[in-house]
Amino acid sequence: MEKKRYTIIARPDEVSAQIQRNAEEELQNAGFIRDDANADYGFIIGGDGTFIYAVHQWFYRLKKMQLYGIHTGTLGFYTDYRDSDYREFMDKFFAGDFEEVTYPLLHVDVKGVMVHHAINEVRIENPGRTQKIDVYVDGEYFETFRGTGMLVCTQLGSTAYNRSIGGSVIQEGLNLIEMAEIAGIHHAKARSLYAPIILKDTVHIVWKSESFKGALLGTDSSVYPLDDATEIEIYTCPEEWVRMLRGRKVSYFDRLKSLF
């Protein structure tokens, strides 16, 4: 039987480092091989920020890997176990006592410039001037926005930056995305929806502008200049997703309550 391969990413603190050492010792004693380039399993030790970092680091192999995480950070929305649950975390893995859930990724096509992906959100922000954006949904003109920027998030990302700007939280299990304004300008000559809008995950959103000069594109924790762009298309990626192992039933509302 071919030996299973794993890789691992840990938050840079002593608690996470010790868990990594313990987990690697157990995995290797059980016959697993560390192979960062061809792993079957990706272990994530840290908080939600570590999880997002790992997704981007392993993007090239996400469909072939199952991710399994333990929480040692400030938030643990993506994981079922805390550092104090380490023994159960490993025992469940070795017993195969888990289920796989998949999470969608957003595909971001900055026309003629670059392509990116995000598991939480995509956003445009212009800190220096009012940004004008014409918004299209499935090819149909929807509105013209003026303000700091706009954001599109997944269900997972609805509890992140989206929530902090007044967006709605989307319950787990709903295949939806959300678009929200960032500091919109609203008066007699500049009007847009103002409220967040929740959309089917099959829609294609396009943001157009005569100039995105000075604006920044954010994809999760990464930021890129948009000076040379005039059109950005966003949609749920049909070809890429995240495969996450869940070994414990944790109430979605218990997770949600940990945010406030």
Q: 1.10.3720.10, 3.40.50.970, 3.30.230.70, 2.60.200.30: which CATH number matches 105-239?
A: 2.60.200.30
Domain at 5-97, CATH homologous superfamily: Probable inorganic polyphosphate/atp-NAD kinase; domain 1 (3.40.50.10330)
Alpha carbon separation from 83 to 19, 70, 89, 198, 260 (Å, rounded): 8, 6, 9, 35, 21
Which among 13, 35, 40, 48 is annotated as catalytic? 48
Q: In this predicted structure, what is the pLDDT of residue 218?
A: 97
Structure tokens at 148: 């700091």
pTM, full prediction: 0.91
Q: In this predicted structure, what is the pLDDT of residue 190?
A: 80
Q: In this predicted structure, what is the pLDDT of residue 251?
A: 81
Is 134 a residue of the active site?
no
Give the domain ranges of the chain: 5-97, 105-239
Q: In a structure prediction context, what are the per-residue pLDDT tens digits for the chain, which is 260 residues long?
A: 466 999 999 999 999 999 999 999 999 999 999 999 999 999 999 988 999 999 999 998 999 999 999 999 766 678 889 999 999 999 999 999 999 999 999 999 999 889 999 999 999 999 999 999 999 999 999 999 999 999 999 999 999 999 999 999 999 989 999 999 999 988 878 888 889 999 999 999 999 999 999 999 999 999 999 999 999 999 999 888 999 999 888 888 877 877 77
